[in-house]
A and B are shown apart, each in its own frame.
Chain A
Amino acid sequence: MAAYMITSTLRRVLLVAKHASFQSRCCVASSRVQYSTVYDSNEKTFDKILIANRGEIACRVMKTCKKMGIKTVAVHSDVDASAVHVKMADEAVCVGPAPTNKSYLNMDAIMDAIRKTGSQAVHPGYGFLSENKEFAKRLAAEDVVFIGPDTHAIHAMGDKIESKLLAKAANVNVIPGFDGVVEATRVILCSGGGGKGMRIAWNDDETREGFRLSSQEAASSFGDDRLLIEKFVDNPRHIEIQVLADKHGNALWLNERECSIQRRNQKVVEEAPSTFLDPETRRAMGEQAVQLAKAVQYSSAGTVEFLVDSNKNFYFLEMNTRLQVEHPITECITGLDLVQQMIRVAKGFPLLHKQEDIPINGWAIESRVYAEDPYKSFGLPSIGRLSQYQEPIHLPKVRVDSGIQEGSDISIYYDPMISKLVTYGATRAEALQRMEAALDNYVIRGVTHNIPLLREIITHPRFISGDITTNFLPEEYPEGFKGHQLTSEGRRELVATAAALYVSAQLRSQRFLGNLRVSTTPQEQRQWELCVELEKGSHTVAVSRSGSTFTVEVDGVTVEVSGEWNLASALLPVTINRTPRVLQCLSRDAGGDITLQYLGTQFKVRVLSQLVSTLSAHMPEKVPEDTSSILRSPMPGSVVAVSVKPGDVVAEGQEICVIEAMKMQNSLIAAKAAKVKSVHCKAGETVGEGDLLVQLE
């Protein structure tokens, strides 16, 4: 697309790019990836690479390019014009409007951008065009290097049916009986990736429904509505092997990544190595992965995914012919820069490492931080503007891969991932401990995020023990995720901190600078009798202060809280009974309502003076509206289908309409049996979170 046809747009872009440049420098400086790899400046690869992607992965690729002295070109949609990846790049080209099929999937526009900028190679990142053989072919036709495997491998592995046959031929273990009739089945898109469109069906009805939804998603996301149906392996772990191969027949396996913690078949927490694999199994898996890579003359980085059952039998699932989202954990434990290796290999350089050079140094954990509401099906997308955003990169051994910054918009058009938060340490325990601290110190305001869920997972005894399967979330939270459940000690800590914060704020509001007309007679109050309400419970609290330490008596038990009590800071580091903790204060108002993030979860606390508490009894209860007869959109998105019209009688649980957001289709159902009173949406419309869709009688 001929970008910047209108001069005004061009001018504005230049102006903003200029004053924003210091920011992108911050971004580069903040990446503290510790690679053992040497960046050999004599090894000439490319002068200029175009990154056909957006967000964190585009930034990730650019960071390595900068280290290798390669100029970078970003492509972007119009709404991404001021995105971080655009600022980081040396050049940027607009390739179309916001919808991905008109911009990031728009091959014509991207080819134009390559020609215009004279890029010698393209890194596709993941998703979008990364496994599109058509794109790879078009690049080849114009002598532009595709940084990834060649078209043959993409084709062979991209088709889930063909890839299984190939794997079988290469002596790789495959799932038994996938062509037979079985009780539980899974429906998978043929061209899909990342679990999108993958559904489990336990009976005939669900198979039919899954078939319908999956084929729709497949058609809209990949333009290919073929489906694969196979036996569903119960209680499996998802463990994948990272492979790296060059064009000279060398292939390495870079150990495994355990990706069992998933929701709706999408990964949430990953770690490397896996607690489950012994060296023999690891080697067996690694060797099979390399066999497969060699069988398809694979070059570049790739991932062979396996399902591993409780007896350590492993079955080939699929091979991803691209850089994976979770590649940083492999980089952490091996010290390799995978992007650098991909670029070297694409240029035709042989691998410098031997299999025995590949170490497992310590342990790395990755949490995928998403802009989504974890209380709805373990995560439904949310959108908004990041009004405040601070990554916990001040902590040691924390790596954050992100493509957003304070002020960025999380829109309905793209993946709602905020960042990949990676921590590492000598041992798993150390990495986990750092992850806890990193999550507590991560400031995200303006969008709902899944940190409550992430923090619960990484501190869950079962997760800590390593006893996990891909069913971990539904098994541990059968009623859905409800946030951190407070112990009575935790309750006291939270109540005490809220009370101390309240008193700090009260005291501060009495301090005026240079104002002589403030009463000098009353002595500063030393003792506060308060009432703190938390989750429908009420606590009698007595607070006394000495310097910055508050002694808080909660229902007769003494809790000591000290801290800086900086009322402007998003983080609230305190020491509670000698244990250091980092809480966050999300809001604090004049009425005594305080929202605190404590152990990852947000709690609403109300701190009242005794007087207010007593008088509150007289305040009228305001009745919230009855929601069972109202269907509201649980997230922003577009309406795919409306299955009812006014006057229809619906059964409880019947599908009313389907909303698509971030390429996921969500079927909304009736909360009760009733007659449809009115329909407020129609297919094709865009709706916001909380918009009224359908009203029942």
Chain B
Amino acid sequence: YTHIYTHRQSVAQSEVQEQSRRWYSVSHLSVQERIDRKRNAALIGGGQKRIDAQHKRGKLTARERVELLLDKDSFVECDMFVEHRCSDFGMEEDHNKFAGDSVVTGQGRINGRLVYVFSQDFTVFGGSLSGAHAQKICKIMDQAMMVGAPVIGLNDSGGARIQEGVESLAGYADIFLRNVMASGVVPQISLIMGPCAGGAVYSPALTDFTFMVKDTSYLFITGPDVVKSVTNEDVTQEELGGAKTHTAVSGVAHRAFENDIDALLNLRNFFNFLPLSNQDPAPVTECHDPSDRLVPGLDTIVPFETTKAYDMLDIIQGIADEREFFEIMPNYAKNIVVGFARMNGRTVGIVGNQPKVASGCLDINSSVKGARFVRFCDAFNIPILTFVDVPGFLPGTSQEYGGIIRHGAKLLFAFAEATVPKITIITRKAYGGAYDVMSSKHLRGDVNYAWPSAEVAVMGAKGAVQIIFRGKSNQAEQEAEYVEKFANPFPAAVRGFVDDIIVPSTTRKRICRDLEVLASKKQTNPWKKHANIPL
């Protein structure tokens, strides 16, 4: 892949070749002139023809992307003069040297808040990763960790710089290590804006959020050609690793956007939800939505028939500031809804069972999706709101064989270890082990509410009666008795497992008030090197 680029480069860059030769051979140029020339060369990356080709693919250049992502004139570039150090295969020639190599790095501001950015430049050697390229990325990551600011990577790279061999591989590992070290220290976001293949995929995988651009970005370990030769499968790039695959099937990516511009503007919007580091509080923005606003629609949203579905998103949008909810993984494991919103201007993470999909049950994928989100919120001081309507874990051989026990345990683990403010609202069913898992009082829930429609029980009436009154007739009557006793919020409320039974329309008001109280919450877990989450 990268070979082809090197070859094309030498043909297309004959003009630059002329010029760049002169830089080194002509001595009458002053240092200032040489600086200016280098800077200008860095600004056009692989040259106008490659820029045009990039545009033709519907993609923006690395610099255009940075400009869109950051506040106007806020970008401070770093390492513009860095060049690769490869001396094999003719790479040492002047025309194969590019100021800044195949990545643009630096820091800037998003709505005034600091962020470190790297943006891979596909116009230079297909954005392939050289030792120098990796070194540039590592430099800004180190700094980001020192000052406590997020790192955003804009990925558009053909892969390893094959000409550099192990140096390129070492570069990847250097980045991986920093991804791991920075994990839980500063938020890390990857936006895949072109190819990202082979070992390169592990950097986005290690970051907190991976977003993709529809139709122009791909993520895979091996491309369709290798797949064909190894497994004889016929598959297109899009099917194998396109945005649709990763947001709906594999769960690798958290969201996809229409095009480069849409993705970058949305990323700016998303950034406003995040704290700068684990030492900073979740941001509070100016809010025009009254914190005591009643939401009358919630009083009728839960249907009378316990088997009838409703949309949990209606509840979430109803209570959130300005109905704004930035959903994470909206197309994957849809039986659980996770994402960010604001309550009275304050960022919160919201987790909700989705009764509309598979009755909102917990299964392998939804548990893992929920767990990772909860851990992100906990790591970055973001309070967690949990809306519970869960009939239990999904039964069946495919789930058991797939390891629902250990995967379900991840969600349980995540909720239990979280020390950020945790507010739970049981809207309807909270059955069985899933009740415990969903941020229950027993897992250190700070405030747990039940709506009048809540039913906290080991299981639904029918199943319960079949066990309790096995073999006895008159099941209908016994079912009614069970319903009267258990299918309501009282058993949990009399034991203090829910703090109050609230009128649904007052939910927003209650949560806003509680969050204000809990803002100063301090809770620590026992000292440990790290916990051992059942991965």
Contacts and interface: CB of A to CB of B under 8 A. Distances in A.
A611 B453 contact: no
A198 to B, nearest CB: 35
B265 interface: yes
B503 interface: yes
B316 to A, nearest CB: 12
Interface string A385-405: 111110000000000000001
A141 interface: no
B89 interface: no
A316 to B, nearest CB: 44
Mostly, the A contact residues are: loop
B164 interface: no
Contacts of A405: 296-297
Nearest to A511: B286
Residue from the set A566, A567, A615 with the largest chain B CB neighbour count within 10 Å: A615
B288 A20 contact: no
Interface in B306-353: 306, 311, 314, 317-318, 321-323, 345
Interface in A590-622: 590-592, 611-612, 615-616, 618-620, 622
Interface residues of B, number: 67
Interface in B217-270: 258-262, 265-266, 268-270
Contact of B269 (A18, A512, A590, A616): A590
A567 B59 CA distance: 33
Given A517-B276, A568-B287, A612-B68, A592 B112 contact: no
B299 interface: yes
Nearest to B293: A568
- Candidate in A569, A590, A620 with the most chain B CB atoms within 10 angstroms: A590
Interface in A1-55: 6-9, 11-13, 15-16, 18-20, 23
A407 interface: yes
A297 interface: no
Given A612-B68, A620-B215, A8 B261 contact: no
A225 to B, nearest CB: 36
A590 B266 contact: yes
Contact of A12 (B268, B285, B453): B453
A610 to B, nearest CB: 10
B92 interface: no
A98 to B, nearest CB: 12
Interface in A393-443: 405-408
A355 interface: no
A624 interface: no
Nearest to B263: A591
B300 A387 contact: no
Nearest to B310: A385
Contact of A512 (B59, B283, B295): B283
A587 to B, nearest CB: 9
Given A11-B484, A387-B317, A509-B272, A522 B74 contact: yes
Nearest to B308: A79
B259 A517 contact: no
Contacts of B269: 509, 590
Nearest to B452: A15
Given A509-B285, A590-B269, A618-B58, A8 B480 contact: yes
Given A590-B266, A592-B265, A515 B304 contact: no
A508 B269 CA distance: 12
A547 interface: no
B493 interface: no
Contact of B112 (A7, A385, A519, A618): A519
B310 to A, nearest CB: 9
Contacts of A569: 288
B113 A517 contact: yes
A352 interface: no
A517 B58 contact: no
Given A7-B480, A509-B272, A619-B260, A407 B297 contact: yes
B111 interface: yes
A142 B74 CA distance: 83
Contacts of B504: 19
Contact of A407 (B72, B260, B301, B483): B301
Interface string B408-444: 0000000000000000000000000000000000000
Interface string A502-514: 0000001111111
Contact of A387 (B74, B297, B322): B297
Given A8-B487, A510-B111, A622 B299 contact: no
Contacts of B109: 519, 522
B296 A23 contact: yes
B132 interface: no
Nearest to B297: A407
A82 interface: yes
A650 B84 CA distance: 66
B82 interface: no
A193 B260 CA distance: 56
Interface string B98-134: 0000000000010111100000000000000000000
Interface string B18-43: 00000000000000000000000000
Contacts of B459: none
A517 B113 CA distance: 7
A509 B483 contact: no
A170 interface: no
Contacts of A620: 58, 215-216, 259
A510 B269 CA distance: 11
Contacts of B265: 590-592, 612
For B64, B300, B483, the residue with the greatest tally of chain A CB atoms inside 10 Å of its CB is B300
Contact of B55 (A12, A618, A622): A618
Contact of B60 (A9, A19, A615): A615
B284 A514 contact: yes
B67 interface: yes
A557 interface: no
Contact of A619 (B259, B461, B480): B259
B299 A618 contact: no
A518 interface: yes
Given A6-B480, A16-B453, A510-B112, A515 B284 contact: yes
A612 B296 contact: no
B464 interface: no
A395 B480 CA distance: 49
B345 A513 contact: yes
Contacts of A568: 287-290, 321-322
A50 B461 CA distance: 35
B528 to A, nearest CB: 30
A81 interface: yes
B55 to A, nearest CB: 4
Nearest to A83: B300
Nearest to B502: A19
B285 A517 contact: no
Contacts of A592: 265
A512 B345 CA distance: 9
B488 interface: yes
Interface in B49-71: 55, 58-60, 64, 67-68, 71
30 contacts: A7-B484, A8-B483, A11-B484, A12-B453, A13-B304, A16-B453, A82-B299, A387-B318, A388-B323, A406-B295, A406-B296, A407-B298, A407-B300, A508-B286, A508-B288, A509-B269, A509-B272, A511-B286, A512-B112, A513-B345, A515-B280, A517-B276, A518-B112, A522-B109, A611-B67, A615-B64, A616-B261, A618-B55, A618-B59, A618-B60
* The 3 nearest A-B residue pairs measured at CB: A407-B297, A620-B58, A590-B269
Interface of A: 6-9, 11-13, 15-16, 18-20, 23, 78, 81-82, 385-389, 405-408, 508-515, 517-519, 522, 525, 566-569, 590-592, 611-612, 615-616, 618-620, 622
Given A522-B71, A591-B261, 16 more contacts: A6-B480, A9-B304, A15-B452, A386-B297, A406-B295, A512-B284, A515-B280, A515-B281, A519-B112, A525-B72, A566-B288, A590-B265, A618-B60, A618-B260, A620-B58, A622-B215
